[in-house]
Amino acid sequence: MSVPLAASAPAAPPHTGGLLLLFDGTPALLTVAALGIALLLFLIIKVRLQPFVALLAVSIAVGLLAGLSVTELFGTVQRSDAVSTIESGMGGILGHVAIIIGLGTMLGAILEVSGGAEVLAGRLLGLFGEERAPLAMGLTGLIFGIPVFFDVGIFVLAPLVYAAAKRGGKSILLYCLPLLAGLSMTHAFLPPHPGPVAAAGLLHVQLGWVILMGVVCGIPAVLAAWAYSAWVGKRIFVAVPQDMVEAAEEARQAVVAEQRAQGVEPREKPVPLATVLALIGTPLVLILAATFSSIALDPSPARSVLEFFGHPFVALTLALLLAYYLLGIRRGWSRKSLESVSTSSLKPVGNILLVVGAGGVFGAVLKASGVAQALSDTFHGVGLPVIVLAYLISLVLRVAQGSATVAIVTTAGIVAPLLTEGHHSQAFVALVIMAISAGSIFASHVNDGGFWMVAKYFGISERDTLKTWTVLESVLSVAGFAVAAVVSVFV
């Protein structure tokens, strides 16, 4: 599905009614763009301003400097049918993203609380055996990472890594790095995670294409990361952190107590593995079927049915309702328990949605003011393919300020005009999204919260975290981009 971004905002060159426009033409607009990016980085890195506030402030500053009037930016005090650039930018992207992220988050919470991760990991460990336990942990992260956020995946699965590493008697890196690679790949490349969903909304791409290209680019990338994990895990020994094992047990007891307070009794029987896999796979299959029915089938009742059930809103709603019944009501949960778990899962989503919405505002301002067109003309003159530019811009923003979400939404706003000028296919634009997502995970280091989470949960020193986790993320990034670039030649 695609949602027009800033449909009501003017696409023509900026007016001269802005407050601070000093000189006209492309050089002025390029200067404004450069100052805007520099200001954004300064506010996030030095001032430590919340990214939502930083993006919104930079959007306003860029709009005024580029010549947009106050009325064009904010609208009028009196009632009017005209929609301001800020309103259209925020509403255009959140109308698409908020529902998908909200439904996906609740689905992941039900799978998490019901014990789906433990069932998945236990079955895979039993299937692959002790010698291939690292592969089992990697597959667990890859599959369970589809519906849950990266940090939630670490919290839920870290105790399983501790247990596997203690049984194996080897470096915890052999077990945690494959798991982290799977979680990171799905978080970066696959819906319903915020990054790819936001990019799809900003660049007007059907989620089915994003899912398909996410699999095409993500699987080779995670295989490369697993190979690196096996290599480095044999060369750097990190013992299982006993303090974190004890903390994990305390956290587990706290979760059980919280679940009991919500009316959710600890599960007596494990969730069937087939149920877990079906709930994770159902929305993906439905969305893909709808996407390709529009290509393979002529207009017909069958195609209409596929497009209805494969709409992301409908597919995720169906999966969530199935999870409510199969993992909740059928296992003795009360309706109050389901409501409580769902509501608590949405608390961390607010910050993500605000950052994504501010990214939509930034993109709308770039388009309405003419800055995006000036950037497009300049990038065309550079001669680099758009997919390479998208990767490099996202990579630089990621390394500079640490947030993958900020890197994605900012880059999408910058490269959007490069994609609207030509007649690019949905498949190609989805590959550009993969390049942006790949750039957004490059070289996680000390300015990224994920860096410290990995170091803390698995007892790795800062130096060894740079040698292992930072390099792992770079391998994922470069491999994912390389596949996207190669596939784009044929698409």
For the chain, domain boundaries: 92-190+208-224+237-345
Report CA 98 to chain centroid distance, whole Å.
Answer: 13
For 444, list phi and psi in degrees, rounded to 5: -60, 125
Lookup: tokens for 250: 């305390």
CA gap 209, 413 in Å, rounded = 20
Under 8 Å between Cβ of 361 and 90: yes
With CA atoms as reference, report the closest residue to 175 among 237, 118, 123: 237
Under 8 Å between Cβ of 137 and 179: yes
The 3 state secondary structure assigned to 232-296 is HHCCCCCCCCHHHHHHHHHHHHHHHHHHHHCCCCCCCCCCCHHHHHHHHHHHHHHHHHHHHHHHH
* pLDDT score, position 255: 61
The 3 state secondary structure assigned to 22-90 is CCCCHHHHHHHHHHHHHHHHHHHHCCCCCHHHHHHHHHHHHHHHHCCCHHHHHCCCCCCCCCCHHHHHH
CA distances from 30 to 340, 366, 408 (A): 49, 11, 20
* pLDDT score, position 10: 41
CA gap 2, 267 in Å, rounded = 40
CA distances from 372 to 366, 396, 421 (A): 5, 18, 12
Under 8 Å between Cβ of 276 and 111: yes
CA gap 23, 365 in Å, rounded = 18
CA gap 248, 271 in Å, rounded = 22
CA gap 427, 484 in Å, rounded = 11
Would you put residue 6 in left (φ > 0), alpha (ψ -120 to 50) or beta? left
CA gap 412, 402 in Å, rounded = 17
With CA atoms as reference, report the closest residue to 484 among 366, 363, 421, 390: 390
* pLDDT score, position 244: 76
For 215, list phi and psi in degrees, rounded to 5: -70, -45
CA gap 99, 108 in Å, rounded = 14
CA distances from 287 to 34, 192, 320 (A): 38, 11, 15
CA distances from 323 to 144, 301, 335, 342 (A): 15, 28, 13, 11
Look up residue 240 and give its amino acid.
Answer: V
Instruction: State which residues of the chain have pLDDT below 50.
Output: 1-23
Q: Which residue has the tokens 């796979």?
A: 281
Three-class SS state of 130: coil
* pLDDT score, position 237: 95
* pLDDT score, position 141: 95
Under 8 Å between Cβ of 179 and 141: yes
Buried b (16+ CB within 10 A) or exposed e, 276-298: beebbebbbebbbbbbbbeeeee
CA gap 279, 321 in Å, rounded = 10
CA gap 380, 391 in Å, rounded = 15
**Count of CA atoms in the C-beta half-sphere (13 A) of 384:** 14
Q: What angle do CA 82, 85, 89 make, to 5 degrees?
A: 115
CA gap 252, 257 in Å, rounded = 9
* pLDDT score, position 22: 47
Could you tell me which residues come within 8 angstroms of residue 94 by beta carbon, excluding any fewer than 6 positions away? 353, 356, 357, 360
